[in-house]
């Protein structure tokens, strides 16, 4: 019978998951409702903020670091126009990821 050598398990350091979550003020929320090309999904700001807080709570309970990314809708809309993008959920997510990347100094301090 051939004996197999045991392979040593390598320790992979834990890496925190970090996610950017868009944050709208009441005024920016109102603007976003006008610009969104898809169904933005919320009738009013109170409904959105409740959903936002619940999502944040669930993500943090999973150990995910949540960084709120303040959204200036006019700036975001300009970005979409410059890049030929629609104001839809996929592109809004891309925009938030880009804004989070721009804040990488903040993100790197969270990872330590």
Query: Does the pLDDT value for residue 14 go beyond 60?
Result: no
Per-residue pLDDT, 44: 93
User: Domains of the chain: which residue ranges?
Assistant: 18-111
Which one has a higher pLDDT value, 78 or 13? Answer: 78
Q: What's the whole-number mean pLDDT along residues 23-35?
A: 95
The SS3 assignment for 37 reads coil
Q: How far is CA 41 from CA 20, 56, 80, 112, in A?
A: 19, 17, 20, 36
pLDDT tens by residue, 33-71: 999 998 777 889 999 999 999 999 999 999 999 999 999
- Residue 73's contacts (CB-CB under 8 Å, 6 or more residues apart) are 24, 28, 31, 32, 35
Q: What's the whole-number mean pLDDT along residues 17-44?
A: 91
Taking Cα atoms as reference points, which of 21, 106, 109, 26 lies closest to residue 69?
A: 21
What pTM was estimated for this model as a whole?
Answer: 0.75
Q: Which residues pair with 20 in a beta bridge?
A: 67
């Amino acid at each position: 019978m051939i004996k197999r050598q045991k392979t040593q398990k390598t320790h992979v350091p834990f890496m925190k998951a970090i996610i950017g979550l868009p944050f709208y003020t009441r005024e920016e929320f109102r603007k976003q409702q006008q610009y969104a090309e898809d169904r933005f999904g919320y009738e009013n700001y109170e409904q959105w903020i409740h959903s936002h807080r619940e999502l944040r709570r669930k993500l943090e309970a999973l150990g995910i670091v949540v960084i709120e990314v303040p959204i200036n809708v006019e700036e975001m809309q300009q970005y979409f126009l410059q890049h030929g993008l629609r104001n839809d959920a996929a592109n809004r997510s891309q925009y938030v990821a880009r804004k989070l990347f721009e804040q990488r100094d903040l993100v790197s301090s969270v990872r330590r």
